[in-house]
Amino acid sequence: MIEIKNLHASVNGKEILKGINLTVNAGEVHAIMGPNGSGKSTLAQVLSGHPAYQVTQGEVLFEGENLLDMEPEKRAHAGVFLAFQYPVEIPGVSNSYFLKAGLNEIRKSRGQEELDSMQFLKLLKEKMKVVEMDPSFINRPVNEGFSGGEKKRNEILQMAVLEPKLAILDETDSGLDIDALKIVSSGVNKLKSPKNATIVVTHYQRLLNYIVPDVVHVLVNGRIVKSGGKDLAMELEANGYDFIREEMLQNA
Amino acid sequence: MSETIEELVSQEYKYGFTTNIETDTIPPGLNEDVVRVISKKKNEPEWLTEWRLKAFRVWKTMEEPRWPNLKYAKIDYQSISYYSAPKQTKKLNSLDEVDPILLETYEKLGISLTEQKRLTGVAVDAVFDSVSVATTFKETLKEKGIIFCSFSEAVQEHPELVKKYLGSVVPYADNYFAALNSAVFSDGSFCFIPKGVRCPMELSTYFRINASNTGQFERTLIIAEEGAYVSYLEGCTAPMRDENQLHAAVVELVALDNAEVKYSTVQNWYAGDKDGKGGIYNFVTKRGKCAGVNSKISWTQVETGSAITWKYPSVILLGDNSIGEFYSVAVVNNRQDADTGTKMHHIGKNTRSTIVSKGISAGRGNNTYRGLVNIGKNATNSRNYTQCDSMLIGNKCSANTFPYIEVKNSSSSVEHEASTSKIGEDQIFYCKQRGINTENAISMIINGFAKEVFKNLPMEFAVEAQKLLGISLEGSVG
């Protein structure tokens, strides 16, 4: 589904990603773990096209297409979704209006008919059940006045409505209490299918108890230094990131 | 990305055309004779001529205000022509007799003066330069006792009402521009809603400046008697010209016991080009008087045009329990300057006022909110709520807020909230990540920002206002 080859990216002239190679196939869940400042969130932002980051080298193919050439909205149309670490507030714009506009743009780009208000509302209500969200959120302004947990849940709701092919979850577990974590994870799991893929970016192993990855990658200083099965995450949890650093030093 | 933002906010001015029509224009210059000529052309009674002259004499002793946060070239009042009217040989008896060129002009502006279009449900008074060219639905309204006509006609047909109310809210010596207007005002709209009548349709005036080197000085007077209700709309456009043109209007509203007047404006005078050349100087005095108990006056304005805007629609809350409201969206772009806001004078007991001001600045625009909330010592248990929000687009524009608050009794309360925000790259990116392109994202963000004001506009105007900002109507779900 997505093939990342030797990806380098920088922000304000400072190189953050220093040659990422990663392939994710349909039906797979990949976890990207790593210490603070290793470039995990940068990778998520670069894949979705945030203008603050410059790609200096490498390529990314999404279903064979050059992803890096596309504007962020075109990437969304193609099926890339980013669940933001810090969801943005848009005062005065209702959640449903926002989401309907997004969904219809995506549908339009695929030659599908746009949903009218009634059809959309029906869909939205169904999806809200998946993430156990109160219907009062339909008309509240996007993320405004939401608690940290509500914002994260709202991200997963958007994911449920937009049905992306590739979902990138950027620190979706941060700021969630255990109940919210369970709800969000179960939402993500319900949306999993053999046709879509998920990249979970996280600092802690905790989330991976609920969203079980097929592959775990460890990102340190802008490079993937180790990949393995879900046990790797347990190992990291037990030993911290230092053991990876030590391994690297020994190999050097 | 900033280019897209600018393109969007600075959509081409669609109303910049000129109508070629023969006019009766007096030569530039201002003195007592010019005032007399205007009065004579309008066949006015002597008391009105005298009133104008008194205003002119006061004006001569006054100085143009320099306190606003506005930059503009000094106005040469002697180079302006104070009267211009499309030539018409005889008195019009019906709309069919209106010069087709004028009808066509208004059609182009999207204003239908033909009464067949009854579905629109809006009665229109069309003011072209200095005079009113047509008023629709006059007869329908007359059946209910409502008077809706041009100001000149009101002077002829209802002099007692004009005499009673003219200057009762904005006296001729009120301020520099109001005094100028009182001396040379040419036309405008007059509305009178008798006791207990709820006006069945929206009344509206459409102001069009056409002639060059002229000023437009219209005067509007709206009176709602006991228990009456009226919703009034005002729209304005002007051709694109390289020189600046002066517009100095006065609007007076009177609400007696239990009456309500709702006044909405979509101001889209030509704003000048991107370098600040040309555009209208808009110096307007608008004030309402809640003269009776439980009366209510509400101003809603969407200000997108004019090179310079100086405007503070205000309410005098005289009657006990009366209510004043001010909802404003002011947009400045390129080199536009706006200094706008409101004054709420609380005099009666238990009076309430609400102020919601949304300023949007783009390009090199400079947007200032200036407001006064004055709660007198007898205005016990009065309340004011003020909210002033500014939004900046790009980094060359500015926004300022100057709230003045005076409270002279201890049982009243005043609340003031203010915020400044920037359309952030993060907001736009968030929308784009959900599939929405930059243009629509900005529309959506601006629309959300101005929503509280738009929802107070009558439907037809809300649509126009949103279009003006390049905003598609938000079809809210559920």
DSSP codes joined into one string, chain A: -EEEEEEEEEETTEEEEEEEEEEE-TT-EEEEE--TTSSHHHHHHHHHT-TTEEEEEEEEEETTEEGGGS-HHHHHHHTEEEE-SSPPPEEEEEHHHHHHHHHHHHHHHTTPPPP-HHHHHHHHHHHHHHTT--GGGGSSEETTT--HHHHHHHHHHHHHHH--SEEEEESTTTT--HHHHHHHHHHHHHH--TT-EEEEEESSSGGGGTS--SEEEEEETTEEEEEE-THHHHHHHHH-THHHHHHHHHH-
Question: Which residue, among A21, A95, A88, has the nearest Cα to A50 in the 3D structure?
Answer: A88
**Inter-chain CB pairs, A–B, below 8 Å:** 103
Range of the domain at A229: 2-251
Q: Indicate the average pLDDT of chain B.
A: 83
In eight-state DSSP terms, residue B214 is: B
Chain A: residue whose CA lies nearest to B442:
A90
Token pair 């470039």 is found at: A39
What's the DSSP call for residue B81?
A: B
Sheet with A14-24, edge to edge strand ranges:
A14-24, A2-11, A53-62, A65-66
According to the model, what pLDDT value does residue B37 have?
92
- Asked if A49 and B431 come within 8 Å (Cβ–Cβ), the reply is no
B444 shares contact with chain A (CB less than 8 Å): yes
Q: Are B438 and B445 in contact (CB under 8 A)?
A: no
Q: Which residue reads 């008798």 in tokens?
A: B194
First vs last C-alpha separation in chain A: 33
- CATH at A202: 3.40.50.300
User: What pLDDT shows up at residue B317?
Assistant: 98
Chain B nearest-CA distance from A79, in A, is 9
Element (H, E) at B157: helix B151-157
- pLDDT of the residue at B97: 64
In angstroms, the CA B224 to CA B145 distance is: 12
Asked if pLDDT for residue A149 goes beyond 60, the answer is yes
Lowest mean pLDDT among B10-19, B371-380, B399-408, B441-450: B10-19
Query: Domain tally for chain A?
Result: 1
Q: Do residues A11 and A43 touch, judged by C-beta distance below 8 A?
A: no
The tens digit of pLDDT for each residue in A20-48 reads 999 999 999 999 998 888 999 999 999 99
The mean of the pLDDT values for chain A is: 91
Contact flag B452-A90 (C-beta cutoff 8 Å): no
What is the pTM assigned to this prediction? 0.79
Distance CA A250, CA A121 (A): 58
Q: What is the DSSP string of B285-318?
A: EEEEEE-STT-EEEEEEEE---SEEEE--EEEE-
**Rounded to whole angstroms, how far apart are CA atoms A126 and A145?**
23
Q: How far is A226 from B263, CA to CA, in rounded Å?
A: 68
- Residues of A with Cβ-Cβ distance to B1 under 8 angstroms: 51
For B443, nearest residue in chain A (alpha carbons): A93
Structure ipTM: 0.94
Per-residue model confidence (pLDDT) at position B473? 25
pLDDT tens-digit profile of B28-80? 889 999 999 999 988 999 999 999 999 999 999 999 988 888 888 888 899 88
Contact A94 B445 (CB under 8 A): no
In angstroms, the Cα distances linking A86 to A83, A174, B75, B201, B464 are 9, 10, 52, 49, 36
Chain A: residues touching B (Cβ < 8 Å)? 48-52, 71-73, 75-77, 81-82, 84, 87-94, 96-103, 105-106, 109, 117, 120-121, 124, 138-139, 141, 158, 162
Among B432, B444, B477, beta carbon nearest to A72: B432
